Amino acid sequence: MKLILTREVAGLGRAGDVVTVKDGFAHNFLLPRGNAIAWSLGGEKQIEGIRRARASREVRDIDHAKEIKASLETATITVTVKVGTSGRLFGSVTDKDVAAAIKTATGLDIDRHNLKLAGHIKKVGTHAVKISLAHQVVANATVTVVAA
Q: Could you tell me the CA-to-CA distances from 89 to 73, 92, 104, 129 in Å, in that order?
A: 25, 6, 21, 18
Task: Decide: 50 and 37 in contact? Cβ < 8 Å.
Answer: no
Task: Tell me the fold of 2-57.
Answer: Ribosomal Protein L9; domain 1 (3.40.5)
* pLDDT at residue 79, rounded to an integer: 92
Domain boundaries, the chain: 2-57, 62-147
Q: What is the pTM of this model?
A: 0.62
User: Over the stretch 69-80, which tens digit does the pLDDT of each residue have?
Assistant: 888 888 889 999
Cβ atoms within 10 Å of 48's Cβ, excluding its own: 10
User: Over the stretch 6-18, which tens digit does the pLDDT of each residue have?
Assistant: 888 888 988 888 8
One-letter amino acid for residue 93 of the chain: V
Task: Tell me the fold of 62-147.
Answer: Ribosomal Protein L9; domain 2 (3.10.430)
* pLDDT at residue 91, rounded to an integer: 86
Task: Give the residue-averaged pLDDT of 95-99.
Answer: 91
Rounded to whole angstroms, the Cα distance separating 146 from 131 reads 21
* pLDDT at residue 137, rounded to an integer: 84
**Interior angle at CA 66, CA 63 and CA 50, nearest 5:** 80
